[in-house]
Amino acid sequence: MSLGEFDLIAKYFDRPARRAALGIGDDCALLAVPPGMQLATSCDMLVEGRHFLSTVAPERLGHKALAVNLSDLAACGAEPLAFTLALALPHADEIFLDGFSRGLLALADVHGCELIGGDTTRGPLNICISVFGLVPVAGAGALLRSGAQVGDDLYVSGVLGDARLALEVVRGTRSLADGDFDAVLRALEKPQPRVALGVALRGVASSAIDVSDGLLGDLHHVLQRSGVDAVVEVDALPCSVVLRAQPLTVQRLCSLTGGDDYELLFTAPPQHAQQVAAAGIASGVALTRIGRIVGRSGAASAAAGVAQTTLVDHDGRAVVHADASFDHFRT
């Protein structure tokens, strides 16, 4: 006999609450917010065929579903607290549920982020997670997209472009040796949210965003919100050795517009350079300065209020690249 809805929840998702005042089992969960802190919350949906391939291992899918949400908390400098899971499943497939819940809860445990509730229904595979994190109300509070200032340095964590390279291989437009493919596929399927880095950058970075739709597109959101422009040194973009071995056009396509990187892109004033480096070391993540923030340029763009990113090579010469960031309704 197949598993019913409530048996399924009890077997795979219900665990004793430790941080929440009340977890799974009632009509609402209860979360206490300590004095001086506020809740940061975000929600991300993963749809089969759109955000993941049907071939992905359930354990990795569970990991990624939570990782993309934790990445949003990281971008705000929030410390993870709890999450809810809304799950539509075609049927109660126990092999799937076992792997999915293991991947999901293993990452949850790493970050002390507790599953406190959700909803389960039959339907095309669809995973929707809402996360809740804590961030101070005042002082070194939430990192926002709107804080970039003229003169700030622009940084990115980790490396860019591997997830996109993996997608190109899956689509059959590029090929890689097995070991190299495994490495980039891991970047696509098992991203590591930069939670500790986000927290360490509170009071240090002036703005931040996580790179989910491609560097140029996500940078554009920061620039629009902050009312500034940017200069990005394309030769400074951090890439893995696997991506470095690809033709320059592929390197640039993947690192500038790839998406699914889940690295943090942030700005900080030059006088914070040492604190930025310390935040990278403390959180065990490589940080690279990739450019700087400049004032709005060009009468036309200033009038239209549209931010511009100028790409330059290591000699400062302009590099032309079409901004083709991911957009669900255009791609």
Residues at the site binding ligand ADP, with contacts judged by CB under 6 A: 9, 13, 24-27, 85, 87, 115, 117-120
Answer positive or negative: Cα dihedral of 146, 326, 241, 262. positive
Closer by beta carbon to ligand ADP, 78 or else 85: 85
Q: Do the Cβ atoms of 275 and 140 come closer than 8 Å? A: no
**How far apart, in whole angstroms, are the C-alpha atoms of residue 301 and residue 319?**
19
What is the smallest separation between the CB atom of 297 and ligand ADP, expressed in angstroms? 49
Residue 185 contact, options Mg ion, ligand ADP, none, Cβ 5-8 Å cut-off depending on partner type: none
Closer by beta carbon to Mg ion, 26 or else 178: 26
E strand or H helix at 100: helix 94-110
What's the token pair of residue 114?
């507790």
E strand or H helix at 119: strand 114-122
What is the smallest separation between the CB atom of 9 and ligand ADP, expressed in angstroms? 5
Residue 182 contact, options ligand ADP, Mg ion, none, Cβ 5-8 Å cut-off depending on partner type: none
Closer by beta carbon to ligand ADP, 122 or else 244: 122
Residue 297 contact, options Mg ion, ligand ADP, none, Cβ 5-8 Å cut-off depending on partner type: none
What is the smallest separation between the CB atom of 26 and Mg ion, expressed in angstroms? 8
In this chain, which of 1, 16, 18, 27 binds Mg ion, going by CB under 5 A?
A: 27
What's the token pair of residue 29?
């969960």
User: Looking at this protein, which amino acid is placed at residue 274?
Assistant: Q
Neighbours of 126 (CB within 10 A): 17
**How far apart, in whole angstroms, are the C-alpha atoms of residue 249 and residue 164?**
13
Q: Do the Cβ atoms of 59 and 66 come closer than 8 Å? A: no
Residue 24 contact, options Mg ion, ligand ADP, none, Cβ 5-8 Å cut-off depending on partner type: ligand ADP
Closer by beta carbon to Mg ion, 29 or else 163: 29
Residue 315 DSSP one-character state: T
What is the smallest separation between the CB atom of 16 and ligand ADP, expressed in angstroms? 13
What is the smallest separation between the CB atom of 120 and Mg ion, expressed in angstroms? 13
What is the smallest separation between the CB atom of 116 and ligand ADP, expressed in angstroms? 7
Residue 315 contact, options Mg ion, ligand ADP, none, Cβ 5-8 Å cut-off depending on partner type: none
| Owner of token pair 């804590």 | 134
E strand or H helix at 185: helix 178-189
Residues lying near Mg ion in the complex (CB under 5 A): 27
